[in-house]
């Protein structure tokens, strides 16, 4: 069995307002806290002991995930006195709970079905000090770009590369935030300081035992922005990533709780939670998640969208390509689309038009017709 450290100390600023009141690891993805997907995936690869490295609000993470006994895992939570950065956080965990000779480290925001077992096997075979899981992407600018030779040795690491650093590279492999590490890596991290593993540790290990393991054909997504959160949701609904939700969706790619009152139309893939009401003439789907207790009014259209617990969509509304937070009310005829993210407990009055990636913070009240953008 194996031990893993999961970094969950970032503030999740790019996912606000979803993360305004909740830390990123426990925001709802389809029907469960995001971190549950990571834990189920890791358990499937023999990880049974997880230490969460928390920067702030560890209480909410612990409340949502507990001690792990229900999943057959041991979950522990360590809180840094001040944010230590990705390497400083690892060092601080080791000071509290000495890590095994070989352990896993993970960024806490990846939705994936990468074969970690294969990565561990390669790590053992090559005798590397650290093995970075790698995935291929079209645009590496938001990630850590990794250059490798034919023997898996890392020959270069560029965090958030600028366009001029990409010249001459024909395939972009990036760090997936999935690492297999030997304790020796900890010796490179000074204690009690803010240290970045990407900017200060990986570059020092280039040519010194840092390896890359390419995960071909696996699914991988950093859910840390609204666009990627939505895409991750759609990929779960379509079965592009292997998760337990897929079992509930079944061959018809549709899960509708037993007590749902559906008078309108539901088009798969769709996931409709307990206690929802879908009025006559309403259209829900495809690619829709309705949380528990959501009401969709007559003639409303909800498509490619996530509507979280207890939200209300009024008559004739159009809610597409967007995220609607818990307990939010969208009133009659309002339009929410184009990547808009509406936080929790918001009131969107009649006739508003919210689009172009607008973010509405929790508790806001928009009077009727206030915004048409």
Task: Write out the residues near Mg ion by the rule CB under 5 A.
Answer: 109, 222, 224
Which of left, alpha, beta for 38 (phi over 0: left; psi -120 to 50: alpha)?
alpha
- Give, as ranges, the residues between 312 and 371 that touch ligand GDD (CB under 6 A): none
159 binds, among Mg ion, ligand GDD, none (CB under 5 to 8 A by kind): ligand GDD
**Could you tell me the smallest distance in angstroms from the CB atom of residue 226 to ligand GDD?**
14
**Could you tell me the smallest distance in angstroms from the CB atom of residue 101 to ligand GDD?**
22
- Give, as ranges, the residues between 1 and 30 that touch ligand GDD (CB under 6 A): 7-10
**Judged by CB, which is closer to Mg ion: 10, or 269?**
10
Q: Which residues pair with 256 in a beta bridge?
A: 272
Return d(Cα 55, Cα 368) in angstroms, integer: 40
49 binds, among Mg ion, ligand GDD, none (CB under 5 to 8 A by kind): none
Does position 53 bind ligand GDD by CB under 6 A? Answer: yes
**Judged by CB, which is closer to ligand GDD: 181, or 307?**
181
Longest dimension (CA), the chain: 65
Q: Are 270 and 286 in contact (CB under 8 A)?
A: yes
**Judged by CB, which is closer to Mg ion: 144, or 362?**
144
325 binds, among ligand GDD, Mg ion, none (CB under 5 to 8 A by kind): none
Q: What is the CA radius of gyration of the chain?
A: 22
**Judged by CB, which is closer to ligand GDD: 80, or 303?**
80
**Judged by CB, which is closer to ligand GDD: 175, or 320?**
175
**Judged by CB, which is closer to ligand GDD: 189, or 254?**
189
**Could you tell me the smallest distance in angstroms from the CB atom of residue 137 to Mg ion?**
13
Q: Are 34 and 27 in contact (CB under 8 A)?
A: yes
Would you call 80 helix, strand, or coil by DSSP? coil
Give how many residues touch ligand GDD by CB under 6 A.
25
- Give, as ranges, the residues between 178 and 217 that touch ligand GDD (CB under 6 A): 198
Question: Closest residue to Mg ion, Cβ-based?
Answer: 224
Does position 222 bind ligand GDD by CB under 6 A? Answer: yes
**Could you tell me the smallest distance in angstroms from the CB atom of residue 264 to ligand GDD?**
38
Both structure tokens of 366: 């928009």
In terms of C-beta distances under 8 Å and separation of at least 24 residues, what long-range contacts does 285-294 make, across chains too? 287/233, 287/234, 287/237, 287/238, 289/30, 289/31, 289/233, 289/237, 291/28, 291/31, 291/326, 292/257
Return d(Cα 206, Cα 226) in angstroms, integer: 33
Question: Closest residue to ligand GDD, Cβ-based?
Answer: 9
Does position 174 bind ligand GDD by CB under 6 A? Answer: yes
**Could you tell me the smallest distance in angstroms from the CB atom of residue 14 to Mg ion?**
8
CA distances from 68 to 23, 47, 63 (A): 18, 12, 11
Would you call 149 helix, strand, or coil by DSSP? coil
**Judged by CB, which is closer to Mg ion: 78, or 110?**
110
**Could you tell me the smallest distance in angstroms from the CB atom of residue 45 to ligand GDD?**
18
**Could you tell me the smallest distance in angstroms from the CB atom of residue 246 to ligand GDD?**
23
Phi/psi for 358 (5° steps) reads -60, 145
Return d(Cα 163, Cα 358) in angstroms, integer: 28
Return d(Cα 117, Cα 47) in angstroms, integer: 10
Looking at 33, 58, 108, 269, which residue binds ligand GDD (CB under 6 A)? 108
Does position 89 bind ligand GDD by CB under 6 A? Answer: yes
Residue 48: how many CA atoms within 13 Å on its side-chain side?
Answer: 5
Alpha-carbon dihedral sign for residues 10, 14, 19, 24: negative
CA distances from 291 to 73, 119, 233, 306 (A): 27, 36, 13, 8
Measured from the Cβ of residue 97, the count of other Cβ atoms closer than 10 Å reads 13
Task: Note the residues at the interface with ligand GDD (CB under 6 A).
Answer: 7-10, 53, 55, 80, 83-86, 89, 107-110, 143-144, 159, 174-175, 177, 198, 222, 224
């Amino acid at each position: 069995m194996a031990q893993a450290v999961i970094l969950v100390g970032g503030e999740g600023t790019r996912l606000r307002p979803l993360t305004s009141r909740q830390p990123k690891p426990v925001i709802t993805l389809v029907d469960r806290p995001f971190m549950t997907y990571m834990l189920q995936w890791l358990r499937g690869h023999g990880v049974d002991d997880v230490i969460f490295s928390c920067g702030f609000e560890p209480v909410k993470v612990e409340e949502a995930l507990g001690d792990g006994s229900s999943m057959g895992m041991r979950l522990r939570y360590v809180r840094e006195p001040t944010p230590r950065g990705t390497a400083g956080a690892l060092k601080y965990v080791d000071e509290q709970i000495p890590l095994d000779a070989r352990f896993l480290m993970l960024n806490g925001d990846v939705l994936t079905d990468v074969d970690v077992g294969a990565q561990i096997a390669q790590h053992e075979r090559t005798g590397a000090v650290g093995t970075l899981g790698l995935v291929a992407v079209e645009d590496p600018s938001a990630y850590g770009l990794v250059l490798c030779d034919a023997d898996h040795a890392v020959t270069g690491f560029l965090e958030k590369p600028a366009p001029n650093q990409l010249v001459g590279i024909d395939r972009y492999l990036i760090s997936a935030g999935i690492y297999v590490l030997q304790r020796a890596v900890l010796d490179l991290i000074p204690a009690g300081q803010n240290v970045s593993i990407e900017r200060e540790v990986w570059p020092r290990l280039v040519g010194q035992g840092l390896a890359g393991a390419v995960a071909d054909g696996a699914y991988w997504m950093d859910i840390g922005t609204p666009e990627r959160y939505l895409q991750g949701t759609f990929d779960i609904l379509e079965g592009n990533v292997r998760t337990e939700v897929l079992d509930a969706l079944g061959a018809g790619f549709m899960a509708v709780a037993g007590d749902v009152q559906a008078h309108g139309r539901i088009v798969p893939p769709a996931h409709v939670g307990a206690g929802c009401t879908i009025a006559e003439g309403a259209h829900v789907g495809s690619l829709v998640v309705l949380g528990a207790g959501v009401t969709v009014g007559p003639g409303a259209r909800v498509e490619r969208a996530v509507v979280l617990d207890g939200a209300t969509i009024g008559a004739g509304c159009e809610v597409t390509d967007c995220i609607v937070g818990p307990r939010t009310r969208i009133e009659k005829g309002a339009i929410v689309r184009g990547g808009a993210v509406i936080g929790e407990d918001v009131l969107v009055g009649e006739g508003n038009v919210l689009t172009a990636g607008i973010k509405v913070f929790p508790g806001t009240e928009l009077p009727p017709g206030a915004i048409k953008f």
